[in-house]
Amino acid sequence: MGKKWFQLAEEGAGNKRLLLTKYIYDLFGEIPVRIIAFFVVLSVFIKAKERRRAVEKFCKLINKPPFFGAFRLFLNYGNSLVDKFISFLGKLNPDKFILDNRDIYKGAFFITTHIGNVEILRTLFQSDKFPHPKRVNVFLQSNACTIFNNFLRTLQLNLNIDVFPVEDIDAETSILISERLQNGEPVFMAGDRVSAQNVNKVYEADFLGKKIKLPLGTLKFALMLNCPIYFIVCAKEGNKYIVHTQKFQQLRQKRSENLEDLKEAYAHFLEEYALKYPYQFYHFHDITE
């Protein structure tokens, strides 16, 4: 059995790499950064055999060419990291975003996916073209939290983003998040990666004719907060980012029944957009194991 995503060695960017990238970007602009990203992706594609095999398996599952499809997906991921980096610096043009609904973000809980690049929505939230909200609450894995917070601290960037480790949700965090939702702030948490600390707190879902395991905690947390719940994908089409959202309708009286509906609805949403944007499905592990 292959390793889970959290068991794989990270080839991702640490704080020093991010600072070096910023230095190159400030001196030479965006194009050299994308050229560097290409060669980094090429190196990772060659060396990270287990990740490549996982992506090739996904490509076969959706009838895409495994080798070239996998490389295209890796390359798209590299470019998405450059876009994310530029958005950190506040240099991404907010006109690049096309939203299906601008009025849903106030006080809503968004269950995200690792399809596309939802993190760069911070650019839109910080712009004058999007009057609310000005603060966003994001849950990430603790190692990603550390890298992100250290980078912002080093550059003295204030993006009005509060980042919480997904592993450490306690009563105090729940109360705080509930208060922020009531104040009109949105919350974002991924629903398609199992936490290293909660490998047994999962549910099985149908996905492309296979059974996959998805984290249960995100769905339970969203329902507990008694707020509007949306699924969200932010995918790149050409030079634009298209934001797709879907509201989850709570139609049952019992929370346990709503949870069953939420499981099914989210898995269907994940499948729909994995097929719509197969080369932006950034799961570098075997999701069907």
Average pLDDT over residues 108-112: 95
**Which of 7-11, 60-64, 169-173, 206-210 is predicted with the least confidence, judged by mean pLDDT?**
7-11
Q: Are 120 and 92 in contact (CB under 8 A)?
A: yes
The pLDDT assigned to 253 comes to 75
pLDDT digits (tens, 9 = 90+) for 77-87: 999 988 888 88
Binned at pLDDT 50, 70 and 90, residue 12 comes out as very low
Determine what percent of the chain falls in helix, strand and coil, rounding each to the nearest 5: 50, 20, 30
Average pLDDT on 140-148 reads: 60
Name the average pLDDT for the chain. 84
**Which DSSP symbol is given to 48?**
-
Q: Of 144, 138, 152, nearest to 180 (Cα)?
A: 138
Nearest to 214 by CA among 197, 201, 231: 201
The percent of residues in the chain predicted with pLDDT above 70, rounded, is 83
Quick one: 70 exposed, middle or buried, by C-beta within 10 A (0-12, 13-18, 19+)? Answer: buried
> Taking 80 as the threshold, does the pLDDT of residue 114 lie above it?
yes
Residue 140 DSSP SS3: strand
Structure tokens that stand for 186 in this block? 């949105």
Average pLDDT over residues 233-253: 91
CA–CA distance, 136 with 152 (Å, rounded to integer): 15
Confidence band of 9 (pLDDT split at 50, 70, 90): very low
Domain locations in the chain as residue ranges: 9-280
How large is the average pLDDT for residues 27-40? 91
Residue 182 is classified by DSSP as H
List pLDDT tens digits, range 244-264.
999 998 877 788 889 999 999
Pairing of strands 187-190, 136-140: parallel
**Res. 131 pLDDT band, cuts 50 70 90:** low
Cβ contact 215:198 at 8 Å:
yes
Reading across the β-sheet that carries 187-190, which strands appear in turn? 97-99, 240-247, 229-237, 109-116, 187-190, 136-140, 161-165
Contacts of 140 (CB under 8 A, 6+ apart): 148, 163, 164, 165, 166
Percent of the chain clearing pLDDT 90 (strictly above): 45
